[in-house]
Amino acid sequence: MDHYIRLGADWAERQATLASLRERVLCDAKQYNAARARYLPPSESYSTVERFTSPDGDLCIANFEVCPLHGVTSVKKVYDALQFFYFHLDISFTQTSGNCVAREKPHERGLEADHTAQQRIVRTSPFGSLIESNQVVFSDYHAVDDEHGSGREFATIALDYVNEDELYPYQPAERLRQDMTATITLKTFRREQATSSSPFSDSLEDVYDVVLYRSYFTKVHKSTLNVPLETFTNAEYAVELCSKAVLRTVFDIVRELGPSSTSMLGDETGGFPIQDGHSL
């Protein structure tokens, strides 16, 4: 899912680079999630998580989830909330991880109107180590999408990282580096239920619920810094918390829509099944 992104020092050039990447990144995100979900029913929850160390010694987490939102019919409503979450990752990290997080530089000027943002984030772990990330977010929404949404709503959010930044280079002598990629696609799926006007009759009607497909991959680069091992573990854990907060954001939307939409969550904790029986 990741693409090699190099940003120069000139503002106009940086914007042009991101604009040139936008369609390719979003297209790859749609295709990746579609391939992962090809044999999975949209009406059933699914989650898988892998943790491993790369040949280069980097600590990695890979995740894929299917989250059907029974009773939620608006892709746009879910998309708007998730777009805010990802376009303000400094706030999201601070609220979910407990780390001190700062956006080192403001958003690239003029990008948000195109549903694009670059965010360079530096956070302090509980052990005092600095962890830096340089992320780019792209998003789009279509009220009617024949190719991916079967003629109905479809939305995509894609998160990628900057490999080289001439204006804001990585500082490996002072900070750990953490890269993140994520893809979220939202669409509706059809199911049958008893006719609302006659709930006790045998007649059925079609309803369309939202389903969320999400993949993410995070990598904490091997470092020569003398930092406690717990720092690396905390870096991974913070991203998992932030990732689960994405689902919490969706739950908040569902809760606003009323009791009929909360049956998918199991209880008032708002817990989507994550792994090993744990929830949010």
Can you give the residue range of the structural domain that contains 219?
A: 6-265
| Phi, psi (deg, nearest 5) at residue 195 | -55, 130
User: Cβ of 118: how many Cβ atoms within 10 Å?
Assistant: 21
Which is more confident, 179 or 234?
A: 179
Predicted local confidence at residue 275, as pLDDT: 31
User: Residue 224 falls within a domain, yes or no?
Assistant: yes
User: Residue 110 falls within a domain, yes or no?
Assistant: yes
Tokens in use for 231? 């720092």
264 DSSP 8-state letter: G
Cα–Cα–Cα angle for 137, 141, 144, rounded to 5 degrees:
160
Tokens in use for 134? 């340089």
Looking up residue 74, the CATH number of its domain turns out to be 3.30.530.20
As for how many domains the chain has, the answer is 1
User: Residue 176 falls within a domain, yes or no?
Assistant: yes
User: What average pLDDT does the segment 81-103 reach?
Assistant: 68
Candidates 238, 240, 262; CA nearest to 250 is 262
| Phi, psi (deg, nearest 5) at residue 125 | -75, 165
Q: What's the pTM?
A: 0.82
User: Residue 14 falls within a domain, yes or no?
Assistant: yes
User: Residue 280 falls within a domain, yes or no?
Assistant: no
Q: In the block, which residue shows the tokens 């009323």?
A: 258
278 DSSP 8-state letter: B
Of 85-94, 118-127, 141-150, which gets the smallest average pLDDT? 85-94
Predicted local confidence at residue 125, as pLDDT: 78
Of 67-71, 100-104, 241-245, which gets the smallest average pLDDT? 100-104
User: Residue 278 falls within a domain, yes or no?
Assistant: no
User: Residue 97 falls within a domain, yes or no?
Assistant: yes
Predicted local confidence at residue 253, as pLDDT: 66
89-97 vs 229-256: helix crossing angle, rounded to 10: 100
User: Residue 174 falls within a domain, yes or no?
Assistant: yes
pLDDT band at 187 (very low <50, low <70, confident <90, very high): very high
75-87 vs 89-97: helix crossing angle, rounded to 10: 80
Is 169 exposed, middle or buried (CB count within 10 Å of its CB: 0-12, 13-18, 19+)?
exposed
pLDDT band at 268 (very low <50, low <70, confident <90, very high): very low
CA dihedral (66, 70, 75, 77) in degrees, to 10, reads -120
